[in-house]
Amino acid sequence: MMKTQTKLQKGTRTILKEACEKVEGFQKVIEAMEEKMLLADLSPSTTTNYTRSLAQLSLFFSKLPQDISENEVNKYLMDLARKPNELSRSSFKLLVYSLRYYYRLIGITDRVVQLPVIKHKTKLPVVLNYAECKALFRGPTSLRDRILLVVMYSCGLRTGEVSRLKIQDIDSGRMMIHVHQSKGRKDRYVPISPLILPPLREYYKIYRPVNYLFNGCKSGFPLSRQGIQSIFQAAVKKCNILKRVSPHTLRHTYATHLLEFGMDIVTIKELLGHERIETTMVYLHVAMLNRSNLFSPFDRLYQKP
């Protein structure tokens, strides 16, 4: 087994800078990738993830990606695949996608098909029940943190979306929130509950956020994704939720609860900003829809005939 990847925790800019300094020619790799992905209108996060993944690989072997043999790449991937944790599995998939893209970019088509096929695991999303939601929203002592969690749940926002949410995106007249250029570079509007407006206005009067609805340490700058993650996990710990959850769980919970309260799947697809209805339909397997007659056979096993 190959040695553990110790560089995974380093910041993206540090990884890229180190690869450019230590691997001759890697600077040109980055420039070519960034130019091509910009022309293809791919998201900045995709560009960042692909270049970082290739930088980690190049640093490990001290070679450019095209100079690393297929056998070396496969051993590296095998090492990642053997690790049970989600970080390694994510790194495995990301490296496969990155190499496929890079090989096509430089015209090495014969190696693309040799990369392992990624098997997609079908997992149902974890969702919070109604009592857990109420407990979670009571958890934080800070009004800002409570409002943040409530907005994420009540509007089904991704972490990046709530981080980039600006004050002017809240349209209290129409009771809508404008979500700008989200995943897939799409805009959308989502309704905001009238119940949120009074505490939201109180929050604004007390905190006076600048530009972004939720400021980080510096006024006028958005609260980071890491900051949102910390707020969420602190609330989860405080109210003793034992499920494996993340801030994205609030989005899953939003969709599931809308289904349970009677909203149709097509409308939910639009509210979530999904490209394909199949993505939204996973919530049909989670929501308790007209299932009041469900029971276990054990319930009836010992009943008298």
Helix (H, G, I), strand (E, B) or coil at 62: coil
Three-class SS state of 164: helix
- Domain positions in the chain are 6-114, 130-285
pLDDT computed for residue 138 by the predictor: 94
Active site residues: 158, 183, 248, 251, 274, 283
Q: φ and ψ at 176, to 5 degrees?
A: -135, 155
**Per-residue pLDDT, 118:** 62
Q: And the tokens for 92? A: 């495995």
- pLDDT of res. 295: 62
Tokens linked to 48: 């960042």
Helices (H), the chain: 12-22, 26-39, 44-61, 70-82, 86-106, 130-138, 143-155, 159-164, 197-207, 225-238, 248-260, 265-272, 277-280, 297-301
What integer pLDDT is reported at residue 59 of this predicted model?
93
Over residues 87-120, the pLDDT tens digits come to: 566 788 888 889 989 998 888 877 765 566 666 6
pLDDT tens-digit series, residues 122-177: 688 999 999 999 999 999 999 999 999 999 999 999 999 999 999 999 999 999 99
Residue 4 phi, psi dihedral angles, 5° rounding? -60, 145
How far apart CA 240 and CA 285 sit, in angstroms, is: 26
Do 214 and 148 contact (CB within 8 A), yes or no?
yes
pTM: 0.69
pLDDT at 11: 52
Q: What is the DSSP letter of 64?
A: -
Alpha-carbon Rg of the chain, whole angstroms?
23
pLDDT at 68: 92
Report the CATH architecture of 130-285: Orthogonal Bundle (1.10)
pLDDT tens, the chain, 305 aa long? 344 333 333 455 688 889 999 999 999 998 989 898 888 877 777 888 899 999 999 999 999 999 998 888 888 888 877 776 655 667 888 888 899 899 988 888 777 655 666 666 668 899 999 999 999 999 999 999 999 999 999 999 999 999 999 999 999 999 999 998 777 678 999 999 999 999 999 999 999 999 999 999 999 999 999 999 999 999 999 999 999 999 999 999 999 999 998 899 999 999 999 988 988 999 988 887 665 555 667 666 667 66
